[in-house]
Structure 1
């Protein structure tokens, strides 16, 4: 442990108080029945933790200095986080491997008795086990000094690994220069089945006469000749019959 010391501002405040109280009778040396340093844990890397220093059953404490030492690669003091007894003067002096806390009464303020407590916050920098030490220097109203020490162990765990967030799957961007392929039909199209016309009445073939047809009426030429010959024959028969009837009358 390093020897106790008081920062200049705290020493000045203490000196002023002692000058005011110098005419008072000497008191017993300041004392405490026990110094306790409490460090919660375990704590993860990156998280803060509060260190508590308790002074039990103090007597005639006009000022104190708490020199807190730790591994500067494992822990770091959180600025303006220190607290102390109500009233008086408080200061914190950060260092690369610790911090010094000072409390002092002012002027004719009475010294403190009973249980006292001071707190400070540190931040966990690296995983592992780190030891924190505190050297306590108590100053009485008559300037007498007493010292005490305490230690605590801080366990720092690795920071929890967050669950990976799945990245959204990007939809493929169609290439405007490449046409979309036409899907092939699953089955070949069936050829249309030809339908046969319904059977109708069968007409007898018309055999045109040898002589052809008349252009205007469509009556066959040969048939017209037969009709004319029949008419001539009937006329001849009629004339012959008439001639026979006349001959028989004579």
Structure 2
């Protein structure tokens, strides 16, 4: 489909969805902060992508910036319309769309003196794993594993160094941010790729949430192919997650 045809489809979509059941045209999503993706001033790649989906339909979008676990609970209590950046079926109460907007690299961190060798997900079996609370990574691994949840990523390096855990599993971008913030000597740790996980919006289990989920998918069907939308990723220096 060429670009003019895509924009014609989007115009028709705007017309077809003009009879919105939502009286309040202001959408509120909750989100944690992640480097250039979601900043505390409500700028960032993910926020720009979300606005590009909803603002052409006449909505305004704002973000309540809170720790990740809190952002999830706000959706569970239907205090916001959804949260930003969930793995598919991470929780059983939100509504998930068909379209993701990014994917992140999950990596395993181990201490070089810990005697651990990562050769694939099977090497995590029988090991003491840690990851951030509420990320529920066990459901995406192909094997049963033993794990402990921690509240702050800052503690992972000392836990690995002191032998209180064998591996930390988490998003590479989060780990590299922690490395920079806490001036970690990376030569003391191993960093191994585990898997890619797609990231989705997670919408509240309400009529409003259902409408916003449907609008997200119908818009993304064509929007993800447009140069304007893809340039948002390029402007931030991030790969396009649909190729």
Comparing both structures, which one devotes a greater share of its residues to helix?
2
Query: Same fold per TM (> 0.5)?
Result: no
Please tell me the TM-score bracket, short chain as reference: under 0.3
**TM-score if structure 1 supplies the norm length?**
0.20
Comparing both structures, which one devotes a greater share of its residues to strand?
1
Q: Which of the two has higher C-alpha Rg? A: 1
Q: Which has the higher contact order (CA 8 A, sep 6+)?
A: 2
